[in-house]
Every structure is written in C-alpha cells, then in structure tokens.
Amino acid sequence: MTNKLVNLKSFNTLGLNAFCKSLKIIENEGDIETLIKDSKKKFIVLGEGSNIILDAPINSPFDVPVFINRLKGISIIKTFNQRVTVRCRAGENWNKFVFWTLENQFGGLECLAGIPGSVGAAPIQNIGAYGSEVSDLIESVHAYDVNRNLAVTMSNKDCTFGYRSSIFKNNTSTSHFSNFIVISVDFSLSTDWKSCRKVTYDDVKNLLPADPNGFDIAETILAVRRKKLPDLEIFPNVGSFFINPIVDIDTVNRLRKEFDNLPTVNFDGRFKLSAAWLIESCGFKGIRFKNVGMHRKHALVLVNYKESTSQEVLILANRIKSYVKDKFDINLKIEPTIFSSSEKSTYLG
Ligand SMILES: Cc1cc2nc3c(=O)[nH]c(=O)nc-3n(C[C@H](O)[C@H](O)[C@H](O)COP(=O)(O)OP(=O)(O)OC[C@H]3O[C@@H](n4cnc5c(N)ncnc54)[C@H](O)[C@@H]3O)c2cc1C
C-alpha cells in the first residue's frame, strides 16, 4: 500500500515529509465540481504550500484527497476613473502577478512584492507586509462554495477581512475541510501610477531613490526581505510562524510596567505587539530543537534544518507558546494552517 502514497514534501515550503493517498492538480475550473463531489466535500486545497504545516506521517497519511490549485490567467475587466479591475486566477504565482501589474503601470500591490505563494491564497489570510494589506486592493473573490455547491462572487465586504484573517481562513486547524475553493480574485488598482506610492516603513523609505516608481518600491522591498529573512532554498520555512498579537491599552499598560522597552504599533485603535520581540525575549532566537529551530536572523521564523517532522515543529511551537504565556500572559497564535491526518494529534496545542 505504501508505494501508492504521494509524498507532499515538494508541495510545502517547510519541506516536511507528509503523505496522502490521492493528489489532484486543478487546471480547469470545470473540474472543481466533480472533484468536490467525488471527495464527498472532504479535501485539502493548496496553492504553493508556503503557509501550511502538514502533519501526516507515512504511517498516518491523509485519507482525504489533496487538490493543488493551478488555475492560470490574468485579464483586465474594466478601467474607470483612474482605476482598473484586474482578474487573476488563483493558481498564478503572487510575486509574478505583482510584477505583471507593475509592468502594466498599475499601482497598489508594490509593497506586497516578494510574498511567496499563489494569488488564490492571498485573500485567505489577507496577506500583508510593509503597511499594506491585500484586502485594500481586493474588489471581489470568485470561489466555489462547497456547502452550497455553486460558484459565488464575494464582495470585499463579504470576505470579512481582518488582520491575517478572512471568512476563508479555517482557524480550527484540525479540520481539513475547506468551505471555499478560490477560483480567481478581482483587484482594483490605480492607473495613476504616481498617486499610490506611499511607503511608511523607514527601513524601506530610507533606501528608495527620489521620486521612486512602483518598480523601485517593489525591488527595494525584495532587497529588504532578502536581508531580513532566511533564504527559503537553504532554510525551508513558512515565514512568520506566529501572528503578531493585537491587544488593548490595558494590556499594553500592564506589560509596560514590567517591560518598558515593549515595542507596540497602533492598529485600528488597538495595539500590535511584536511576536518576534516576545519570542526573542524568552530566549528562543537562534535556538535549535532536534531538526528545527527559530532562525538566528529572525526569531519569528521557524526553520527546518534537516528532515524534521511535524511533531518536532509542533513541540517547539507549543514550547514557545507556553514560555510567552508564562512571561507575558499573552497567547501566541500559530499563523500557518495546520492540516493533520489525526483529529487526535496531541501536538496541536
Ligand atoms: C519566506 C516566507 C515569507 C512570507 N512572508 C509573508 C508576508 O510578508 N506576509 C504574509 O501575509 N504572508 C507571508 N508568508 C505566508 C505565505 O506566503 C502567504 O500566506 C501566502 O498567501 C500563502 O500562499 P500559498 O499559495 O503558498 O498557500 P498555501 O500554503 O498552499 O495555503 C495556505 C492556506 O490557504 C488555503 N488555500 C490555498 N489556496 C487556496 C484556494 N485556491 N482556495 C481556497 N483555499 C486555498 C489552504 O487550504 C491553506 O489553508 C510568507 C511565507 C514564507 C515562506
């Protein structure tokens, strides 16, 4: 039986060996309905696997099929009043799409250059970087609604975007059942190339030439990201492993009494804490546990040093969570989606 299993190692950027009994590549929109029906609505859908933890060792593979979304195509839907609506299908690579928009002199996505993954996954956790969130540019999301068995168009409002969250993000982790398959995303971008060049982050702003264009911003962000983050090819990882906690003023005041150097950022009337700072303060930056560790360049990035297992990843994650809880009374939340073949996995925390 084992020789029929598919290893998903090359389908997740953390490079975990994880196994499934059936893997299907979605290349045509028309196939989706049949695939969902055949799977009895229980499946895992992936893009490029850069925000997932696959917990399915060889002796406990996924019973449900794994779908890889590779729907391709970019088209201009309409232009109106210095805005353009661009439709991009879910299986396009995010960074390539960002550069396609810049080549066409459409502004808006430049601060999100360099984020790994597919376009279809961008709305799932409302990707963001350098002061920009993709929800600011999404007009609507076209998806297959698994429960209602039909293709739907969801407006930006319907998607209930929040910080690293949306209606699509399955926060229950142990359930591998997605309610939607994203087919394409409509972006509202600016045709006024100049108006949207707002870069608020000093480490990017200070490196920009005078009067930068969208390419200058995107290229500068790529360079800053390269400097800050471990090289994915050498250190398999999923980017930020924990979400920055959003807290109220009472929590900030409580923490400041003890930690007067606590970094905070105003966030819609609340405060964003730095998960990296919390983790580093607990002594985890650069530490190694078996084959995994928190990278020496960035305390928030959990890396797979060599053939690590999902168990090692989740044990280290839970250890960090409990240290941060003890020291700061803050609950860290794991950012990537965890897909586990066992509902009873003891490592899920
Ligand atoms: C080095 C590195 C840096 C990163 N930096 C950032 C960053 O700056 N900001 C940020 O926000 N994120 C960042 N990430 C996380 C990641 O790049 C994003 O979350 C990205 O959008 C994931 O895309 P993906 O195609 O790899 O999704 P996957 O990892 O394949 O899937 C992620 C989730 O989306 C779901 N999903 C994927 N495609 C679909 C679809 N078509 N329909 C329905 N559900 C779907 C999956 O089921 C899963 O729950 C980083 C990751 C890495 C490795």
pLDDT value of position 183: 98
Average pLDDT over residues 182-188: 98
Cα separation of 238 and 229, whole Å?
11
C-beta separation of 21 from 4 below 8 A: yes
Decide if pLDDT at 171 tops 60: no
Tell me, which fold does domain 74-227 have in CATH? 3.30.465
pLDDT value of position 202: 84
pLDDT value of position 345: 57
Residue intervals of the chain classified under CATH 3.30.465.10 are: 74-227
C-beta separation of 106 from 174 below 8 A: no
pLDDT value of position 173: 47
The answer for 185, left when phi > 0, alpha when psi is -120 to 50, beta otherwise, is beta
| Catalytic residue positions, numbered | 164, 240, 335
**Mean per-residue pLDDT of the chain:** 93
**Which is the closest atom of ligand 1 to the Cα of 122?**
21
- What's the Cα-to-Cα distance from 2 to each of 20, 21, 31, 61, rounded to whole Å? 10, 9, 27, 9
Ligand 1 cavity residues, CB under 6 Å: 13, 45-52, 69, 90, 115-118, 120-122, 124-125, 127-129, 168, 170, 178, 180-182, 229, 232, 237-239, 337
**Which is the closest atom of ligand 1 to the Cα of 170?**
49
Residue intervals of the chain classified under CATH 3.30.43.10 are: 2-69
Looking at the structure, give the CATH architecture of the domain made up of residues 2-69: 2-Layer Sandwich (3.30)
Q: What is the pLDDT of residues 22-79, one digit of tens each?
A: 999 999 999 999 999 999 999 999 999 999 999 999 999 999 999 999 999 999 999 9
Average pLDDT over residues 329-340: 95
Decide if pLDDT at 1 tops 50: no
Q: What is the pLDDT of residues 88-131, one digit of tens each?
A: 999 999 999 999 999 999 999 999 999 999 999 999 999 999 98
Q: CA Rg, the chain, in Å?
A: 20
What residues are paired with 75 via a beta bridge?
87
pLDDT value of position 84: 97
The pTM score is 0.95
Tell me, which fold does domain 231-340 have in CATH? 3.90.78
Cα separation of 284 and 243, whole Å?
16
